[in-house]
Amino acid sequence: MCWISGACILASGLSLLALAQSSDHPKPPAQDDCAHISRLAVAQVASGESGEGHENAARILTQAVSRGEDACAGLVLTNVAAFLLASGRLAESERLAERAVHVLEKKYSRDDPALLRALHTLCSARLAQGKVGPARNSFKRIQRVPIELPEDRLLLHSVAAPLLASQGQYADAESEYLAALKVLEQSDRLQTVSAATMLQGLAFVHIRQQRFEDARQEIDRAAAIFQANKETVAADQVKIFRDRSGRWAVL
């Protein structure tokens, strides 16, 4: 079970957001092959209820690393870690994201944008487990990465917001959620899962601030977006969140 309700709600959404980002940063030479390996590894983990999927995915990663393909191995590890985060397997996600960072550091400098998605997943997994201190350390690493692309700004704001909220800094968290939504608006993505994730996080902050009418509207918008995108599990989670808030009459 997640440490705080806000982290519970955001864990799957943040990972979906990370998985959705396409990066324009340098890729491994065999980009198509690496993308195929990444999809295969995620599929193996998704199907490996008995552990077989993990073994097959590990074999794929080992082969990539043994060939010196650190950039590809790092990408695959990052995507599998994000999938595990979305599945609620937080400790496994943290371990793989941390490994992804270490692998990528063999290829890139510590503040290279190529590490951003791995650091984002690592920070999110730690925060969802209530490891605020380690999450803060991961976020400090993110802050040292030069942010140039809109997708990178979205990753920065989307993880800064719940981290600040977890520390009771609700006004600052609200600003970060609004900044993330602004990035999405500028790229015409206000009806996406990423936007719904930011809306439900913003609703959590507004409940803490006792701005219940604002929170009700944001929860309803998030649920509608999830439903429209056929993310029925996420839509149900938002509805449960709203129902459990029944003690607030306005909700």
Task: Give the per-residue SS3 of 165-212.
Answer: HHCCCHHHHHHHHHHHHHHHHHCCCCCCHHHHHHHHHHHHHHHHCCCH
**Which residues of the chain form CATH 1.25.40.10?**
1-19+32-146, 149-244
**Phi and psi for 45 in degrees, rounded to 5?**
-65, -40
Q: Domain spanning 1-19+32-146 has what CATH number?
A: 1.25.40.10
- Kind and range of the H or E run holding 67: none
pLDDT in tens, 191-241: 998 999 999 999 999 999 999 999 999 999 998 998 888 765 555 556 555
Please name the residues in contact with 124: beta carbons below 8 A apart, sequence gap of 6 or more.
Answer: 10, 11, 14, 15, 18, 85, 135, 159, 162
pTM greater than the 0.85 cutoff: no
**What is the per-residue pLDDT for 230?**
77
Nearest to 137 by CA among 181, 101, 176, 91: 101
Q: State the Cα–Cα distance between residues 214 and 218, nearest whole angstrom.
A: 6
pLDDT in tens, 30-49: 555 677 767 777 777 777 65
Q: Which fold has domain 149-244?
A: 1.25.40
Is-contact 163 135, C-beta < 8 A? yes
Is-contact 164 44, C-beta < 8 A? no
Residue 75 has pLDDT above 60, yes or no: yes
